[in-house]
Amino acid sequence: MDGLTLVATFGQTEPRQWLSLVAAYTLAVSLAVLLSRWRLRWQLLACVLLVAVAMPLSQHAESRLGTKDDRRIVVDEAMTFPVATLGLPLWRHPWLLPGALVTSWVLDNRKPPPVAQAQSLPGGIGIVLDDVLANLYTLLLAHLALWLYRRRRRGRPGEDG
């Protein structure tokens, strides 16, 4: 396995090896937490750059591994997860982070429309775009959860949301 493929797979030689998955999701969460402290416009720019890097890495790994969206490729999950937390106040409401992570994982695996259709696009575009769309769904649900939480808290006297 060459260096770029190792990066795209986090060193996995077999599909879904736990240590590589833990590393990928640790990076995903770390990026989300780091970016959540930035202004929204910088978060957006960082997400665009992460996606732009993930696409060619995924494309390269797919061509080397010889399988469409090979399960060993996890750079797409790691580098697109910050999309799921754009604009969320993770430092004030840390419960949003595990909720977003689980929701993102479920939606990426269940592939509601148009996530499944995006995955069928060729190469790195399809590998990464399905994760971006799953994370956009997650972002919508996370903002809805935060809105409901704040609305509920506002109804309680003497409490701040």
Our CA angle for 40, 41, 46, nearest 5°, is: 95
pLDDT per position as a tens digit, 109-133: 999 999 999 989 999 999 999 999 9
pLDDT per position as a tens digit, 52-106: 999 999 999 999 999 988 989 999 999 999 999 999 999 999 999 999 999 999 9
Alpha helices in the chain, H assignment, sequence order: 3-9, 18-36, 40-65, 75-80, 96-110, 115-119, 123-154
User: What are the sequence ranges of the domains in the chain?
Assistant: 3-154
Q: Are 104 and 81 in contact (CB under 8 A)?
A: yes
Q: 23: which 2 tokens?
A: 């590393």
- Global pTM? 0.91
Q: How far is 121 from 135, CA to CA, in rounded Å?
A: 17
Q: 82: which 2 tokens?
A: 């910050």
